[in-house]
Copies of this chain bind each other. A is one copy, B any other.
Amino acid sequence: MTRALTAKGAATRQRIVAGTAELVRTRGADQVGLDDIRAATATSKSQLFHYFPDGRAELLRAVAEHEAGEVLDDQQPFLDGLGPAGSWQAWRDAVVEKYREQGVHCPLSALTTQLGPADPGIRVIVADLLETWHTRIADGVRRAQADGPAESSLEADKVASSILAAIQGGVVMMQATGNIEFLKVPLDAALAGIEPVADAGPVPDAVTM
């Protein structure tokens, strides 16, 4: 981990992690072998083990960290701005759009439920991500109470938990059913207490919820 790494080496390592993350996202972790990774990242077995001496497990841990970072980075601008009227709608639209284009390929659920149980190291990474995410949302709720549209009687931490659960649960249900309404509806409901949001998306593709 804390080995000497030249610029070239760091670039190669990064290429491996990003390429593997891509594969894991699209196929699922257990459908990705070292040979797939080799092919996708133009590397050799020895490179894989050079940068990740503990092999596949260590690589997947690095992928988990990478993906956790991506999730927050994607939302960073919106999360920081959470609070004022309109900011919730913007964030909600960004989240929905993100998952719409990702389809069933959720980086987190791939790791949480595929690798989490087997690898405690990954559970920790996911737990950290959820905690950070939760904190950011709760901060937004508090800002909305101070200067924004939200009533101050709400318990910010609990509201944040509800919002986060709506997203996680919505994604799970969306993955199983293919219907993004299962993400939109619960998320909108969870946000309703802060600032009512509206669905400006295309005509719903499903007849019923």
Contacts and interface: CB of A to CB of B under 8 A. Distances in A.
Nearest to A167: B169
Interface in A163-195: 164-173, 175-178, 181-183, 185-186, 189-190
B185 A162 contact: yes
A130 to B, nearest CB: 6
A123 B131 CA distance: 29
A183 B166 CA distance: 11
A128 to B, nearest CB: 9
A11 interface: no
Contact of A176 (B30, B126, B161): B126
The interface residues of chain A, by DSSP majority, are classed as helix
A130 B169 contact: no
A147 to B, nearest CB: 23
Given A28-B118, A113-B113, A172-B169, A162 B177 contact: no
B190 A161 contact: no
A206 to B, nearest CB: 11
A73 B194 CA distance: 37
B165 A114 contact: no
B28 A117 contact: yes
Interface stretch (A34-42, A52-60, A89-97, A104-112): A104-112
B170 A182 contact: no
Contacts of A113: 109-110, 112-114, 172, 175
A166 B182 CA distance: 11
9 contacts: A110-B117, A112-B172, A112-B176, A114-B114, A117-B175, A131-B177, A164-B169, A165-B166, A165-B173
Which 3 pairs between the two chains have the least Cβ-Cβ distance?
Answer: A169-B169, A165-B169, A165-B186
